[in-house]
Structures are given as structure tokens and as C-alpha cells.
């Protein structure tokens, strides 16, 4: 029998493991997201706090950038474990990606404090990461799953800095075709399914990277800048975004879409992630509205039986049913 739930951890459970999942159903066509919201772990540590994966309509869209084998003697090998934060579905601030801050724990000592809320027609995740002491900036990621149909992702940046250069990265599977319409990203799978990334505020602009071999600076894992991302079997691993590994002997090019730009802090960056079935046109995209008053932005999200209202500020967010 199929599990009787579509979210994990279940509402009655204490969240210890750090993975949060939400799905529309248990069919192969399900809309599904998993978010990494836990400690770094005692093994296999990557800079992937608040990163996520997303599948829908039988297609893998946003993926965890997988590793190759750890070593290979084949002449065309291109080995990488892909641990650095900038390679994942995360943010960078002034070029600084995730790192293990001094004093952070590798494992959970008590139930995690991420917000994991469920109501009629929605599931909400909220977690955070601090770039201190390298950057005095705190990043909070909010993900609202509306009516088991689409997601609203909001990245909130606060801190002592007045402004920052931001990169908001989305790593796609190798077989996904990418098209831009203005600031909107249309990702199309071989089966015709689509995932639309629709920015709703902010001024970041998208760019695509596929198989970049240019050395890229990372602060993972110790908070110090480096271009050798990892060293294994006597080889330096140096490269940029746009790869997946699949445990083969070499990296495979895969499109990474990165929204970049300069923002004033505090800032809220809001993006709708909308799956469309192969037969659905872009005209089926939900009409999401916003209203700003008294320092808050209210997002109105259409669902099958009414509307959800997400009231947000840099300090808080709440969900109301209309």
C-alpha cells in the first residue's frame, strides 16, 4: 500500500534527520520537492544547506549536482566530488558560498528548529543559514507548496551590510533544455513537461552555465577562499558550475541557471516554481498577485478552491486562507 502521507517529517513527528519532503501524490507524475535543512552530517558533507531537488510530471528538473567516481585511470576522466556550495541550489553573497562556520554541529543534538507548517492547501518550510564570520549576512529560505500544485520560493537576506552581489543558483538535470523569456526561465524535459521559474520581485537577471571548466572560487568547507575545490587521488578538482556526475568517470555537462545582480539589504527575492504537464501551455501559469503596505508584501496565490495569502516581510511570514 502507498504511504498515507505526502509530507515528511509527518506533523506528529519530531524533525531530527534534516530532510524535508513534500509531494502531490505517490504516482510517477507527482510534483515532489526535498529540502536539506539539517546539520552538515558526520560523513559525505557538502555545502548544501537549504538546497533542494524538484521533480514533476515524470521528469527530474532541479537536481543535487552528483559526484563522479572518486578516482579513474581513463584518459578522458574528469573527476569531481562536487561538494562546494556554489554548485548547489543555494545562494552566494559577494562570491562567498556556504561553509562550515566555527562552532556549528555536524549532527543534531535535539529536534531541528526549522519551521515546518501544514494547513489546508499548503505546506511551508522556513530555514536559515548565516554567512558570518566571513560576511555579516543572514539568509532565510522560505518555501510554500501551494495546493500541491506549485511552489513559491522566497530568499530573505538581512544583516549589517548595506548591499551585496547575489547569485541564486538552480542546477538542472543534463537532459533539460533551457529558454529565457525576459527574467523567466522555461525548463523543458524530453517528455515535454516544463518547469517555469518566474521571478516575482527583485532585479536579478538569469544566465546559463553548461560545463564550465574555468576555476571558480569556493569557501567550502573552512570559510577560506580557494580554487582547488577538492583534491583526490593526487588530482586537483578545479571547475565552475554546470555539471553532474552520476558516479561515472567524468563530469557530464548539465545546465545551471544562476540569477545574479546587486541588491540593497535587507532584501526579499521571490520566485514561483511552476510545473506544467506536457500538454499545458504557458497561459496556464497561475496569476500570482502582490500588494505592498506597512512594510509587508501580501502574495495572493490562486488554488483550486479559493486563494492563499502569504504575508511576508524581512522579519516574518504567515499564511492565510481566503
- d(C-alpha 58, C-alpha 67), whole Å: 23
In a domain, 31, yes or no: yes
Give a yes or no: residue 320 inside a domain. Answer: no
Question: What pLDDT, on a 0 to 100 scale, did the predictor assign at position 105?
Answer: 77
Q: Is the peptide bond before 291 cis (omega within 30 degrees of 0)?
A: no
Q: From residue 99, how far is each of 21, 132, 157, 177, 306 by CA, in Å?
A: 24, 10, 17, 31, 42
* Number of structural domains found in the chain: 1
What is the residue whose three cell numbers read 486562507? Answer: 321
Residue 313 lies in a domain: no
pLDDT tens per residue, range 103-128:
777 888 899 999 999 999 999 999 99
Range of the domain at 24: 7-278
CA distances from 282 to 88, 277, 287 (A): 27, 10, 11
Report residue 266 as a C-alpha cell.
535587507
* In a domain? residue 286: no
Distances (CA, A) of 316 to 20, 102, 164, 168, 298: 20, 27, 21, 21, 12
The structure's pTM equals 0.96
Task: Tell me whether residue 73 is in a domain.
Answer: yes
Contact 188, 200 (CB under 8 A): no
Three-state secondary-structure class, residue 95: coil
Per residue in 267-310, pLDDT (tens digit) is: 999 999 999 999 999 999 999 999 999 999 999 999 999 999 99
**C-alpha count within 13 angstroms, C-beta hemisphere, residue 262:** 2
pLDDT along the chain (322 residues), means of 10: 95 92 98 96 86 99 95 92 98 98 83 96 98 98 99 99 98 99 98 99 95 98 97 92 95 99 98 99 98 97 96 98 80
C-alpha to C-alpha distance for 183 and 201, rounded to whole angstroms: 10
CATH classification of the domain holding 255 = 2.70.98.70
pLDDT at 102: 79
In a domain, 98, yes or no: yes
Q: How confident is the model at residue 321, as a pLDDT?
A: 85
Q: Is residue 234 part of a domain?
A: yes
Residue 312 lies in a domain: no
Amino acid at each position: 500500500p502507498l504511504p498515507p502521507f505526502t509530507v515528511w517529517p509527518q506533523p506528529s513527528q519530531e524533525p531530527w534527520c534534516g530532510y524535508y519532503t513534500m509531494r502531490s501524490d505517490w504516482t510517477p507524475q507527482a510534483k515532489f520537492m526535498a529540502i536539506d535543512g539539517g546539520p552538515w552530517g558526520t560523513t559525505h558533507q557538502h555545502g548544501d544547506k537549504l538546497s533542494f531537488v524538484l521533480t514533476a510530471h515524470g521528469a527530474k528538473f532541479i537536481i543535487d549536482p552528483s559526484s563522479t567516481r572518486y578516482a579513474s585511470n581513463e584518459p578522458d576522466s574528469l573527476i569531481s566530488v562536487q561538494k562546494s556550495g556554489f554548485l548547489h541550489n543555494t545562494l552566494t553573497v559577494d562570491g562567498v558560498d556556504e561553509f562550515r562556520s566555527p562552532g556549528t554541529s555536524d549532527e543534531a543534538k535535539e529536534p531541528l528548529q526549522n519551521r515546518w507548517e501544514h494547513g489546508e492547501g499548503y505546506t511551508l518550510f522556513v530555514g536559515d543559514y548565516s554567512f558570518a564570520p566571513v560576511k555579516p549576512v543572514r539568509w532565510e529560505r522560505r518555501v510554500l507548496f501551494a495546493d500541491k500544485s506549485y511552489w513559491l520560493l522566497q530568499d530573505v537576506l538581512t544583516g549589517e551590510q548595506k548591499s551585496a552581489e547575489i547569485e541564486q543558483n538552480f542546477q538542472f538535470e543534463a537532459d533539460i533544455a533551457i529558454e529565457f523569456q525576459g527574467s523567466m526561465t522555461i525548463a523543458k524535459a524530453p517528455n515535454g513537461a516544463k518547469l517555469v521559474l518566474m521571478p516575482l520581485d527583485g532585479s536579478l537577471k538569469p544566465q546559463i552555465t553548461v560545463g564550465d571548466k574555468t576555476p571558480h572560487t569556493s569557501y567550502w568547507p573552512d570559510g577560506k577562499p580557494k580554487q582547488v575545490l577538492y583534491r583526490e587521488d593526487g588530482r586537483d578538482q578545479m571547475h565552475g558550475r554546470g555539471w553532474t556526475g552520476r558516479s561515472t568517470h567524468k563530469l557530464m555537462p548539465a545546465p545551471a541557471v544562476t540569477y545574479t545582480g546587486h541588491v540593497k539589504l535587507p532584501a526579499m527575492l521571490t520566485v514561483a516554481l511552476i510545473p506544467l504537464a506536457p500538454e499545458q501551455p504557458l497561459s496556464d501559469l497561475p496569476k500570482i498577485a502582490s500588494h505592498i503596505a506597512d512594510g509587508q508584501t501580501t502574495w495572493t496565490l490562486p488554488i483550486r478552491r479559493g486563494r492563499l495569502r502569504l504575508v511576508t516581510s524581512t522579519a516574518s511570514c504567515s499564511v492565510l486562507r481566503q
